[in-house]
Amino acid sequence: MAVNSNITQKGMEINDESNVLKKHVMFFDRNNDGLIYPSETFQGFRAIGAGLLLSSVGAVFINVGFSRKTRPGKSFSIHFPIEVENIKLAKHGSDTGVYDKEGRFVPSKFEEIFIKHARTHQDALTSDELNNLLKSNRERNDFAGWLAAFAEWKLLYYLCKDKKGLLHKDVIRAVYDGSLFEQMEKEKASKKQK
């Protein structure tokens, strides 16, 4: 899947690296109000081609896991909204470090993924290489981080691997900047029209 990393998303140019983590999640803010509710997460998953079960589980897992973290000082909400503006507060451990603490994209950390783990093809990861990436990033006793990283990467692999079982570098880059989701939605819509 070839992806243009300068694609515009909801009127914003993606080539600005200062708020990449926000851009990564904005696709799921389906009504552009700065809040992502489980129903919007579900709709976003469906828009990129995930099935009903995966979309439902993803919506619950993501919103329950990240809502409180992105709403500091606010009371519990049974609606589990995620505040896009505070998404950097939901950054979990045991990840690649491609997003820094402020949600900025760190190119050297992105390249490190492939330098360290892409053994079969220099610009793609196999399933085994992805498993090695996950194991190497585990922080001691960070079970929530392990689970979050595992879920994110396995979902990406499941939805975006090619016919040879490879997860390509341009796809991974596009998921980090958020442009992948819009591309997947457009591809799904064009298949429906055919």
- What's residue 192's pLDDT? 81
Give yes or no for residue 16 having a pLDDT over 80.
no
**What b/e readout covers 73-82, taking b as 16+ CB neighbours within 10 angstroms?**
eeeeeeebbb
Give yes or no for residue 104 having a pLDDT over 80.
yes
Give yes or no for residue 1 having a pLDDT over 80.
no
Q: What separation, in Å, do the N-terminal and C-terminal C-alpha atoms of the chain show? A: 19
- What's residue 17's pLDDT? 52
Q: What distances in angstroms separate CA 85 from CA 19, 22, 40, 61, 123, one per listed residue?
A: 10, 7, 16, 20, 32
Give yes or no for residue 4 having a pLDDT over 90.
no
CB distance 29 to 35 below 8 Å: yes
Q: If 0-12 CB within 10 Å is exposed, 13-18 middle and 19+ buried, where does residue 129 land?
A: buried
Q: What is the pTM of this model?
A: 0.85
Rg (CA), the chain: 16
Average pLDDT over residues 60-86: 96
Average pLDDT over residues 31-45: 97
Give yes or no for residue 100 having a pLDDT over 60.
yes
- What's residue 107's pLDDT? 96
Give yes or no for residue 152 having a pLDDT over 50.
yes
Residue-averaged pLDDT of the chain: 90
